[in-house]
Homo-oligomer: A and B are copies of this chain.
Amino acid sequence: MVKLKINLFINFESTYIASIKNKLLLSSNSLQTKYRKQISKYEREGFYKILFSRRDVRSHFIKKDIPLTTILRIINAAHHAPSVGYSQPWNFILIKEEQTRMKIKNSFLREHQKAIRLLENNKAKQNKYKSLKLEGILESNLNLCVTYDYTRFAPFIIGKTSIPETGIYSVCCAIQNLWLAARAEEIGMGWVSIISNRELKKILEIPKYIKPIAYLCLGYVSEFSQTPDLEKSKWLKRLALNEIIYLEKWGNQVRKNG
């Protein structure tokens, strides 16, 4: 099993140049000429189809390997996210090894227990919370840790001089690109945030100055849910647009009967 995975990465390394040169850089160089063209109605509709059918996936993972070129394609999509001052402050750690995943899963289990204890005074809510499936660390085909490096191209980063947090915001934009690209490739993705970043850093040997932003689980799925899991389980529902839009200043809400 471990052997197979090592082979996968040897394979990864040897196919690296070919895949990069033939499929990836293409998208940011020569294909750009094509990309300057207008977006057609069909392209726009396809885009919205991908955007609206993206889900935070924790189940329905099937046993099917993600080809390496596909992995690189979605990471390349992430890498084409906007970043403050073009600082590209992200790294992506690909995790296949089961031993590593078990350690991460144990961290999840500990943090999950802590969360359960927070609901001690609301047994109904606590039971509902306990019934929810909140991660797919072991069942998914690939785990991916996305990190933030505040030293990248430092010290002077354009646009980061007034609001330093924008570096982290860039990494989140990359994660959303990655999420949508995964959906475009029929790959489900879930974000596991019930986890200890301190433990995560130790397990993945992440240095002190690097901040883990997301721990993601990816894999092909048997289906994408029609509605978000937490809506389906009646935990919360989607807000109406008029509840979140203001005009000209905070609190100036759109009247429903205008």
Kindly identify, within residues 151 to 177 of chain A, every residue whose CB is under 8 Å from any CB belonging to chain B. 153, 156, 158-163, 165-166, 168-169, 172-173, 175-177
Q: Is the CB of B242 within 8 A of A16?
A: yes
Q: Is the CB of B88 within 8 A of A193?
A: no
Q: Which chain B residues border A94 with CB–CB below 8 Å?
A: 245-248
Q: Is the CB of B52 within 8 A of A28?
A: yes
Interface residues of A (CB under 8 A from B): 9-10, 12-14, 16-17, 20, 24, 27-28, 31-36, 38-40, 42-54, 56, 72, 75-77, 79-82, 84-88, 90-97, 100, 111, 114-115, 118-119, 125, 129, 132, 134, 147, 153, 156, 158-163, 165-166, 168-169, 172-173, 175-177, 179-181, 183-186, 191, 193-197, 204-207, 210, 213-214, 223-224, 226-228, 230-231, 235-236, 238-242, 244-251, 254-256, 258
Q: Which chain B residues border A36 with CB–CB below 8 Å?
A: 53, 223-224, 226
Q: Is the CB of A256 within 8 A of B16?
A: yes
State the Cβ distance, A242 to closest chain B Cβ, in Å. 7
Known contacts A33-B226, A47-B184, A51-B77; is-contact A163 B247 (Cβ 8 Å) = no
Q: Is the CB of A39 within 8 A of B194?
A: no
Q: Is the CB of B241 within 8 A of A24?
A: yes
Known contacts A77-B51, A118-B161, A205-B249; is-contact A91 B244 (Cβ 8 Å) = yes
Residue in chain B with minimal CB distance to A223: B36
Instruction: Report the separation of the CA atoms of residues A176 and B93 in the bound assembly, to the nearest whole angstrom.
Output: 22
State the Cβ distance, A189 to closest chain B Cβ, in Å. 9
Instruction: Report the separation of the CA atoms of residues A84 and B158 in the bound assembly, to the nearest whole angstrom.
Output: 29
Q: Which chain B residues border A90 with CB–CB below 8 Å?
A: 244
Residue in chain B with minimal CB distance to A31: B52
> 17 A–B contact pairs at CB < 8 A?
A10-B258, A16-B242, A31-B52, A39-B46, A39-B49, A39-B183, A44-B185, A56-B82, A76-B241, A86-B231, A94-B245, A95-B248, A114-B161, A132-B158, A161-B194, A163-B195, A210-B250
